[in-house]
Amino acid sequence: MSRSARLVRSAAPWALALTLALTACDGGGAQDDTGSAGAGDPYFPKAGNGGYDVRHYALNLAYDPAGRRLSGTARITARATQPLSAFDLDLQGMEVEKVTVEGGPARFSRDGQELTVRPEDRLDEGETFEVTVRYAGRPETVTDPDGSKEGWLRTEDGALALGEPTGSMAWFPGNHHPSDKASYDIAVTVPKGLTAVSNGELTTERTTGGRTTYTWHTAEPVSSHVATLAVGRYDVTRSTTEDGLPVYVATDPTQTAAARTSLARLPEIMEWAEYNFGPYPFSSTGAIVERPDDAGYALETQNRPVFPGAPDSGLLVHEIAHQWFGNSVTPRTWQDMWLNEGFATYAEWLWREDEGGTTAEETFKALYTHGEDTYEDLWSFPPAKQPSAAHVSDEPVYQRGAMVVHKLRQTLGDDAFYDLVQGWTATHRHGNADTDDFTEYVEQQAPEKDFEPIWRDWLYGEGKPERP
C-alpha cells in the first residue's frame, strides 16, 4: 500500500525545512515496502508472492487420520529482495495460531489464500530472515480451474498431498510459485503402523509413545508444486542403482503385486534417461504408488513420482523424465508448461522407439494425420499459448509440445539434437526457464539453422500447420 504525504497549503519555513530533511532521509519520498500478493503469473496471479526469495523450508508436522487434523510449524528462511514492512505467504484454509519473524512476534492477517505478515522491524533489502508460522486444522482439497483435485486428498488409510499447480498452500504456508524454489526438511509424526513418505532422503525414523516420526531431507531446490507428503500403510522397498543412487519405493499393499514388474524396470529407465538427457539432477529416486481412486492422476513429485495404481513403463518413463524437465529445469511461469510436458511426452516416444516399437517419426506422422480422432482438442490452441488457467494441462500442451520437440530433432539431426537437450538440462539445472529462454538457447546452439517456421507454425501457431 502506498503512503502519500498530505499537501499543506502554506507551510512555515521551519516546516518546509523539516519536510526536506525527512525526504532526504528516506531516499526521495515515501515508498511502498510491502511485498506483492502474487508473483505475477499470467494464469495464476495470486500464486506466489513478491519481495523475498525462500531459501529453505523446515516443516514439523503431525497428522491424525482419524480426526483428519494436521498441525504444523513451518520455519521459512528467506532473503528480502526489497525493503519489507509486510509480506505475504500463501496458505489456504487452516487456522494460524502464531507468527514470528526473527524470533519476535509479528502481526498477521488473512484474506483468502493470502497470509499477510507484519514484522516488528522493517526488513532491509538483502537481509536474510526467518519467519515461523504455527498452524492447525483440517487441510482442504483444492479444485483446479480444469476441475481436477489437488492439495490435501483423503485416502483409504491416510492422506496424499499433491501440489500442481497451487495445492501445496493447503498444507503449509509458503511462496507457492515455481519461480521460487528451495530446499526442504520435513518431519512428519503419524500413528504407529502408518508410514509418512515425502521428497528427498529419509534421515530418521523414530517411534515413541505409539507415534512414529519420519524425517525427510531434500538438499536440491524444490518447487513447492512438486513437494509431496503421503501418509498411509505402504509396502516399502529400499535399494540402490548400479551407480549407488538410493531408491525408495512405497506401494499401497493393494497395488504391490501389480506394480512389481514395472517398478523393477526403474533402474533401467533411470540409466536410459541419463544417457539421453544428461546426469540425473537429484540424490535419490523412487516412486509412490497409491490406489487408483486416491488421486486419479500421476504427478512428477520430486525424487519419487506419485502413481494412481501400477504404472506401465510409458507412464513411468514420462514421470521420470520430468525429473529433468519440470523439476530440475522448472518453468518460470505456468504459461511455460509445455517445456515440462512436451519433453516428458517426447520421452515416451523415444522410449517406444528404443524398445523396438513405433518410431518417434511414425508417432509424429500418425498424430498429425489422425491425432484429432484421439485428442479432439489437439489443434485448439498452440502449446505455448494456452487460452486460460483451465487449459494449462490440456492435450495440446502435451502432444503438440512433443511435436515441437520432434521438429527440432528433424531440423538438427540426432547428434546435435541430443547435444542440445543435454546442454539445456545442464545450463538450467536446478533453475527456472521460460519459452523465450528455450528458443534463444536453440538458436544460439545452431545459428546456421532456420527455426522460425517451428516457432511460428508449431509453437505459437493457431490451428493445424499446413504440412507436417
Helix axes 360-374, 401-412, angle to 10 degrees: 150
Q: Per-residue pLDDT averaged across 381-399, rounded?
A: 97
- Distance CA(331)–CA(336), nearest Å, equals 5
**DSSP label of 10:** S
> Among candidates 199, 432, 221, 454, which has minimal Cα distance to 334?
432
pLDDT over 90 percentage in the chain: 93
pLDDT band at 20 (very low <50, low <70, confident <90, very high): very low
pLDDT above 50 for 10:
no
pLDDT band at 31 (very low <50, low <70, confident <90, very high): low
Q: Per-residue pLDDT averaged across 150-173, rounded?
A: 97
Q: In the numeric block, which cell numbers belong to residue 357?
A: 516399437
Q: How far is CA 341 from CA 389, 392, 404, 420, in A?
A: 16, 10, 11, 18
pLDDT in tens, 110-120: 999 999 999 99
- First CA to last CA across the chain, in angstroms? 52
Q: Per-residue pLDDT averaged across 323-339, rounded?
A: 98
Q: Look at residue 468 in the predicted model and tell me its pLDDT.
A: 86
- Distance CA(406)–CA(306), nearest Å, equals 27
pLDDT in tens, 174-224: 999 999 999 999 999 999 999 999 999 999 999 999 999 999 999 999 999
Question: Is residue 431 helix, strand or coil?
Answer: coil
Q: In the numeric block, which cell numbers belong to residue 381?
A: 490452441
Q: Per-residue pLDDT averaged across 263-271, rounded?
A: 97
**DSSP label of 253:** T
pLDDT in tens, 57-116: 999 999 999 999 999 999 999 999 999 999 999 999 999 999 999 999 999 999 999 999
Q: How far is CA 240 from CA 167, 197, 263, 288, in A?
A: 31, 18, 13, 16
> Among candidates 124, 128, 133, which has minimal Cα distance to 95?
133
Q: Per-residue pLDDT averaged across 270-297, rounded?
A: 97
Residue pair 168/205 in contact by the 8 Å Cβ criterion: no
pLDDT band at 23 (very low <50, low <70, confident <90, very high): very low
Residue pair 81/53 in contact by the 8 Å Cβ criterion: yes
pLDDT above 50 for 13:
no
